[in-house]
Every structure is written in structure tokens, then in C-alpha cells.
Structure 1
């Protein structure tokens, strides 16, 4: 711990006297208020967002840039990413490092983007190496859902838990598991593709090319497609928040679509619970805009689909605002690396 104190990352607090068994007095340690911040980056298929995050989780100096629709090469994408980072860190003190959450498949051993299905111009980008070369600081790159989980572990509803899961539900779906006090990544970060588990062998074709993935019935595209089929107003811009408004206004078909969507989401969550039993699942993404009414609908279906053992406490919860949660998660990846905290 002494090197981290010397670097100003940790600060010593009050002295704790020894207990009755004797021994040396202990000193409380916590993050220094004067510590350098972390630059957090969220990389989506259509834009890059960056900010500074204090070690207490405060988010500030936010910047963002859209990727042009005609973008085709990783080099051009990196130029936009690095410019966004430059603008972010220019407004504050020197940074401890850079944490990056990517909506795509990551080789966590090299920090390379293996594939980003909605942003193929990012495929093969050695992001960790390029950012380190450009800025000369420690860089950590991981999948966005795993970053969400690490953020939940440090700053959110996962604090103090030994088992929980984080799931992102939006245009794409992903999941991450924290089991027995450790994040499960799979070999080279291959785990977490829960959106591409099969729930309907005769279902729709997924963007991954396979048939019947959970993403095909629980992603936001299913919602807008179904809204069009069921002739709801302005289906292409429909999200859960507006669907709730339509249901409350008794617009024909809205209430049924809301319940169907909640059931579709609960199917994948129940599969996760049945197989791995995290017992607590934090849900992130566009779905959070539905608030407690949507959460209660998902919980109703979820309870009907999972087995309950005596003494089990199984719960679902909505997480924080999607962008802020992901950015805190990206910072948490770097923080865990600096503290040599095995997650």
C-alpha cells in the first residue's frame, strides 16, 4: 500500500486501536481527495464518450464525438477516439490512466477489439496499445458490460456482494458475472455474450447471423419492429418510457406489447439465474427508462420462470443512467488495475 500512498492515490485516516487480543494499531486507508483522476472512455458503434472520474466516483469534464456513417478503417476511428480523450484531459490535472469500455468483443489479454458487430470499422483495433503509445499512461480495455459490473462492484449496487450479475439491455444485449468474489471473463475475455444464447430455435435471424438469439426478442429493435406490426403511433422512435405513456393512455395494443416485452426480457434473465444463480441481477441500458413500472413487470414474469429454494433471496434491480454507469465502470477497470485488486 505504501507506493499508492506515496503516489497520492490513497490517504491515511484515523488510527484504529488494537483489539483485546493485542497487536499493532491499524490505520484506515481510503482514496485521497487530491488524487489524480482517471480518464474513462465509452466506445459505442456510433460515438465515443469520455470524461474524468475522481476516485470517489464523481464524473466531470464530459466530451463526446460521433463516428461518421461512412467510417471504414480503424485508423480513422482511433483518430476520433484520441481527439476526444485529448479534449477531456486538457481540462484537468494529470491523469492516473485510461479505462475503456467497448460495446464489442474484446481480447482482454491484448486490449484489442476483436469485433464490434454494429461498428465493423473498429474490428481489429489494438486500442490498449495505441492509447498507451499516444498518452504514455496505463490503459485498461474491456467489454462494456463487464465494465458496468466492475462499476457496480466499486460504486454501485454490487458493493459488498460476493455474487451478482450485471446485464445490459438496449440495441444489443450483454452480461457479466461476479461469482465468489471474482469477475468471470472466460478465456481472453470470451465470456459475457448472453445476448447470443438461443431462446427460440425457429426464431428470427440475429445480426450475428444465428437464429433465435435472446437479443432478437429482448433488444430495442424487437420493440420497434413489434410496435410497427401492432400499429402503435410513431413506432420507429418508440422506447420503453414512451410505451409506458401509451399504455397508461390506453392506446390499443400498448399494454399488451409492454407485457410481452417484459416477458421476453425475463426469459434471458431467468436462464442466467437458473444456470449460474447469481441471485442478484443489476439491469442497465435503455430499459432503465421504464422505471419501477417496467421493473415490476419483468419481476412478475421472472418469478414465474425461476426455481426458488428455501432461504434464497433472488432479486432484480435497475442500475443508474446508462452512460454514467458505463463511464464509472471504465474508470473502475483502471482503478482495479492500479490497486492490483483481482476481480
Structure 2
């Protein structure tokens, strides 16, 4: 018997007025993985996530969570996941402990169970020392950790994280990444929307790149980077008067060349192209500096698939 997917999204579509913001999107998420929804602002990531979590009704299409239709079996489907948004829907004037107790009781836990679960989550998310402070005194990172803790009260097997590290400092982002990895180790499935390419590269097992409401590419981070092909060569031309000559000399060899001030960037399809390029520049007496060779990154994938494509 085939394993049931954690999520199946089939032909999901949503319009606001005349604008189609999610356009016939389909994908599957396997249990126990981190699945990233990646795309620029306004691409349709959050709208897709809101339909998956029943916060927004789709105009067409279907979502199932562990085999349960989110429309026909909404209550059961909702019981299987936790949702963490960009901003915590908690009370600013009371403490983290009190917020967790309230949400635990709202989720049906008895007073004693709510107290125990609150203590566990405060410890798990390093909030014990600040547990009885009012939330208005919390830093952004502490707020985000509390928001995640609230979504985990019922120990859901599926967790939706909508841009969980937006606005956090680098150290707190790294702590949040460690928390997400720990949740996966414990058996959770994570759906992550993010604008941060390094975050997607660090955390996601599979990625779906959405642009203008359409699913433009899917795959593992490694597969997507491989499709871009080749390393990226960047260097600066020492004399600005020689930039045009360098571009004209190398274009037949490498194809498209990007110029930023005196820096030239190009894609290498083969490693031995580097030696050829350096020889050609040397023979033409064009001096260069700050030469860097980089493997393809998710930034390259993202730019290739989304920028300027309408």
C-alpha cells in the first residue's frame, strides 16, 4: 500500500477581482520533509498557504492533508496541523506563560495538562527566564519563538511556517533554523514560505518556486541549481577603457556577459573555459583583478526563473 502524502495540492486557483493570484498550482509533500514555497513578494505564496490551511476559500482545486479533504473534512484536516504566521496572534499585555495557557485551554487541554504543556514549551523554546514578562517587553526573536510554541501546543504532525524569520537578526534566524531542524527530527512535516534563498537552501528538502501565481519550477535545491548549469565567473577589468574590448573578446566564447561598473560576470559551461578566458585576456593585454568562481546558488535559480518574466 502506497504511503499517504502529507499534503496534495491539486489545481489550486484563486482570483481577487480580475486578477488571478494563484493559477492552477499542484504539488505533493511527503511526510517528514521540509517543503519550501519560494517566490518574490506578491507571487502568491501566502495566498496558497492560506488556502491550504482553510483560512481562504479556493475558487477551484483541492487540498488534502494526510488524505483528508480540507473542505469536506475541514475539522479533521485542521486538527492535523499547526500554523505560525509572520506575526503572533497573542495578547501583548499578558505573559508568555499566560498566552500559552489560554491557547492550550482553547485547544481542549485540561487545566493540569495545559500547565504541563506550557512548561514543556517554555523550556523547549528557551523562554523560561522570560515566561512571566509581558509580551510587549519581548524581542522580535522571542515573539517568533512564542508564536511557534503556540502552534505546537497540540503536537501537530504538520506545521505551516509563513515567513518565520522575517525581520529577525542573523543569530536569532539561526536559532530558529535549529528549532525547525529539531522539529523535523522529531517527525514533523514542515511547509515553509520564505523570501530568503539561503533559508530555503539550508532547510528545504524540496522547493516549489511560484511567480505571478504560477508554479514555475519544482525540485530539490541541488536539482534546481544543477538546471542553471555551470559555475559563475566574475572579475574586474583594471582599466575601464578596456571593458568594451573584454566583452567583445569573450562574448563568442561564453555568450551573455553581465556588466556592473568595471565588473564582468559570465556563466562557465565547462571548467576548462577558465583557462581559455585567462589566456585570451592575457594575449589581449587586458589586466583583471578580483577573480572569483562560484558554484550556482539558489539566488541564480531564483533570478533565472522569476526576474522580468511576466
Is TM-score (shorter-chain normalized) higher than 0.5? no
Normalized against structure 2, the TM-score is what? Answer: 0.26
TM-score (norm. length: structure 1): 0.25
Higher-strand-fraction structure: 2
Find the structure with the greater CA-based Rg. 2
The higher relative CO (CA closer than 8 Å, separation ≥ 6) is in: 2
